[in-house]
Chains A and B, each alone.
Chain A
Amino acid sequence: MTTTAVVTGLGVAAPNGLGTEEFWKATLAGESGLGPVTRFDAGGYPSRIAGEVPGYVAEEHIPSRLMPQTDHMTRLALTAAEWALADAGLDSAGLDSAGLPEYGVGVVTSASGGAVEFGQRELENLWSKGKEYVSAYQSFAWFYAVNTGQISIRHKLRGPSGVLLTEQAGGIDALGQARRHIRKGVPAVVSGGVDAALCPWGWVPQIASGLMSTVNDPDRAYLPFSSDAAGYVPGEGGAILVVEDPESAHRRGAARVYGHLAGYAATLDPAPDSGRPPALRRAVENALADAGITPADVDVVLADASGVPDLDRAEAEALTALFGPRGVLVTAPKTMTGRLLAGGAALDVATALLALRDGVVPPTVNVAAPAPDQQLDLVTEAREADLRTALVLARGYGGFNAALVVRRAD
């Protein structure tokens, strides 16, 4: 058996719930967080639906000194990290008493477009007023490494750290990297992804991608695997997880183990004109092999669920090839949050861990049934089941594929 890593703490900021249990309750109830954009005036754009994190008052979570130097994205990330560490019993007192070595805790997060709202404000300052108006914090506040850096500094975490960018696959790749660090002897890594790009300068590039839904009804905009699939809806938020070496977690008396990160793999699709098949299937095969299991051992798949018809079809084909037609339960709880860029896959891993813990598959909402050519056993209402192993899939723009096998703690 490959050495695994365990998850001992969760922190969630999602469009359908701020905080792990709020999110989980809403998710099981099928409550969606999608709605008209309120964070900026989207009235002039063809796409106007998003998943916004509700009820987040930054001043309640973020010290005053950090406010002028952080974007909304980083504030959400800091909040989720604080919750995850507290959940793991590793708040500052817990970290002091855990007996971990000096460089025993690292931070690895994913990012996609950086802290875009902060960046847009400073670009505007530069181009409309002049360079004297650019913030001294711009040099780091917008960039891709900001969440890792700020989490490290706030919690005094000095272990091996990093930032991986694979667009929507990033949340899994960050956790895969955390697992690598654990295998190399680092006791704990704070990992995952939290992202936000709900501002005009984060919106317009997504419009340019041509993949965003222009159906402006929150219940009809994002319908992955459906015959009516019309693209994706963006959201903000994500999850931060505390990943630990199982023995170290046991030694320090960790209060709970949500589950194991049992297998991980990533691949890159070949060029579309190469004549070679997409590489998602191979990512799954490698992740299953890494976990030492076969497709028959997988109880549920949390799909990437792009919402773009061609991409949905490709994912359905990969799943059918591996598991057989309607051969495994498939769900896409992100129909309730939208696609969270670098945060989405980390949130799906948190969701998978909660599903394993409670023995219930969260639903895919708004999709009545998959398109006839996509032979998936799609779970459209929360369903109790004896779940031991979940497979989480994610794909990033440009051909990135990532697969993570999550096993129940027992």
Chain B
Amino acid sequence: MRRVAITGLGVVAPGGVGVKEYWDLLTSGRTATRRITFYDPSPFRSQVAAECDFDPRAAGLSPQEIRRLDRAAQFAVVSTREALADSGLDTSALDPGRIGTSLGSAVGCTTSLEREYVVVSDGGRLWNVDHTYAVPELYQHFVPSSMAAEVGREAGAEGPAAVVSTGCTSGLDSLGHAVELIREGTADVMIAGATEAPISPITSACFDAIHATTPRNDTPESACRPFDRTRSGLVLGEGAAILVLEELESARRRGAHIYAEIAGFASRCNAFHMTGLKPDGHEMAAAIDAVLAEARLAPDTVDYVNAHGSGTKMNDRHETGAFKRSLGEHAYRTPVSSIKSMIGHSLGAIGSLEIAACALAMEHSVLPPTANLHEPDPELDLDYIPLTAREHTTDVVLSVGSGFGGFQSAMVLARPERSAP
């Protein structure tokens, strides 16, 4: 069977642009959550987010690109350039039709759409919005598939391209989709990952309306507290991670640096609720069981679990239940952490950001911690790596996600020499 290697990484994340800054933040235990600065957050119940200090000019985008691209697309393009450079892959020497694109995003170009809506509706006054005020890019923002085309063109890719949009599992599912395209032989290289720039009044309003985001506005830097007794909801984030994925043997032949193999991917639906989770974690456990089976790895080989860890009580219990169900006694010996405690929840992008973090954890033999975990929830009894990064060699890493719509996804990274096919 064709196997899939990660050979390049590119990241835009809260706390910094670029892989180095990202990894520095994650291992320092610092957080990038703060009071929202993009607009006046005072009307909102939750006024905290993990914003990127992103200067598109400094990040290398041209004036026309800046005009044309939504913030999420800008993140994706900048990350793609970093990932391609990191991979050392000369895409111009490849058949463009064998390079594909898979980009995750839950809410697309929502920031640009809301900004333009406010103009064409004249501040919400007009139901029959005024087309004479529409910017030429409006249709591109309307169909976020345009972002996959932008990413594909960065790599000269002419193979299959798509945006994968499965809510907050988009970033895992887009990578899973890319893995499948390489395995089945449709593509040899995939530019895959996810992007999101959702920090906008409409997003604040809709998460407020369901009390999903934290009201802990007095201490923004410690507002996201997964697995902590005092957790009170998620903190919105933004960012992008793009990975260069290659068929393993051809990556080896060209002497590419291989961060890890993506050894498996699986997803299930809970068919239960658009936003709720079943407390027993049954479907997430089923996804974990399936991904380990696909990777031909026993549960007790898992060295680290990168949790969904969104900062809600419902989630913490759901996934802790799932880990125990799938890993059995080994769950108690396996370190688990949530990087959302530091970079917030960037919806569709987070799954790819988490896989990038897992690849870096394997690379550096360091596990990122769960920040803000001072008072463990007594009902949660796993090792959640509180507060400080931990040196730890890992051969097999599991990452999971849950998304609105009922999606439950799981992905396994492994050292290629570790997981015999």
Contact = CB atoms under 8 A, between A and B. Distances in A.
Interface of A: 40-41, 44-46, 69, 102-103, 106-107, 111-114, 120, 122-131, 134-136, 138-140, 143-146, 148-150, 152-153, 155-167, 170, 173, 177, 180, 183-184, 200-210, 265-271, 274, 276, 279, 282, 286, 396-400
Contacts of B286: 102-103, 158
A145 B180 contact: no
Contact of B165 (A145, A202, A206, A209): A145
Contacts of B43: 130-131
Given A124-B124, A128-B124, A166 B208 contact: no
Given A166-B161, A271-B153, A138 B146 contact: no
Contacts of B126: 200
Contact of B121 (A102, A127, A152, A205): A127
Which of B167, B207, B267, B283 neighbours the largest number of chain A CB atoms within 10 Å of its CB? B167
A46 B274 contact: no
A152 B117 CA distance: 31
B255 to A, nearest CB: 28
Interface in B359-386: none
Contact of B209 (A138, A202, A265): A138
Given A131-B208, A268-B152, A208 B135 contact: yes
B128 A44 contact: yes
Contact of B101 (A148, A183, A268): A268
B274 A268 contact: no
Q: Which 10 pairs between the two chains have the least Cβ-Cβ distance? A: A127-B124, A149-B405, A128-B124, A398-B149, A209-B139, A205-B142, A144-B165, A165-B163, A266-B160, A208-B138
A112 B145 contact: yes
Contact of A153 (B163, B207, B274): B274
A159 B143 CA distance: 27
Contacts of B97: 267, 279, 282, 286
Given A267-B97, A270-B156, 5 more contacts: A134-B205, A149-B404, A164-B163, A268-B160, A269-B158
B139 A124 contact: no
Contact of A148 (B161, B163, B166, B268): B166
A265 B127 CA distance: 40
B158 A152 contact: no
B129 to A, nearest CB: 5
- Of listed A69, A131, A270, residue having the most chain B CB within 10 A: A131
Contacts of B167: 140, 143, 145, 149
B201 interface: yes
A200 B138 CA distance: 13
B125 interface: yes
B403 interface: yes
Contact of B164 (A158, A163, A206, A269): A163
B202 interface: yes
Interface in B310-326: none
B177 A162 contact: yes
A184 B118 CA distance: 46
A271 B150 CA distance: 9
Contacts of A152: 269, 271, 405-406
Contacts of B144: 144, 165
Contacts of B138: 204-205, 208-209
8 contacts: A103-B268, A107-B269, A113-B143, A153-B273, A158-B270, A165-B108, A266-B162, A397-B143
Contacts of B159: 266-268
Contacts of A160: 266-268
Interface of B: 43-44, 96-97, 101, 106-108, 114, 117-118, 120-121, 123-131, 134-146, 148-149, 152-153, 156-167, 173, 177, 180, 184, 186, 201-202, 204-210, 212, 266-275, 283, 286, 290, 403-407
Contacts of B148: 165-166, 268, 398
Contacts of A159: 268-269
A268 B108 CA distance: 19
Contact of A400 (B139, B149, B177): B149
A208 B405 contact: no
Contacts of B44: 131
Nearest to A204: B131
Contacts of B131: 45-46, 203-204, 207-208
B205 A396 contact: no
A164 B266 contact: no
Contacts of A138: 202, 205-206, 209
Contacts of A158: 268-271, 283, 286
A136 B142 contact: no
B311 to A, nearest CB: 16
A157 B271 CA distance: 6
Contacts of B127: 40, 120, 124, 200
Contact of A127 (B123, B157, B283): B123
Contacts of A140: 167, 274-275, 404-405
Looking at A143, A209, A266, A400, which has the most chain B CB atoms within 10 Å of its CB?
A143
A158 B284 CA distance: 11
Given A134-B205, A158-B283, A268-B101, A165 B165 contact: yes
Contacts of B212: 139
B288 to A, nearest CB: 13
A336 B108 CA distance: 31
A193 to B, nearest CB: 13
Contact of B141 (A126, A205, A399): A205
Contacts of B158: 267-270, 276, 279, 282
Given A127-B121, A131-B204, A276 B164 contact: no
Contact of B405 (A103, A148, A206): A148
A165 B146 CA distance: 9
A149 B406 CA distance: 6
A362 B126 CA distance: 41
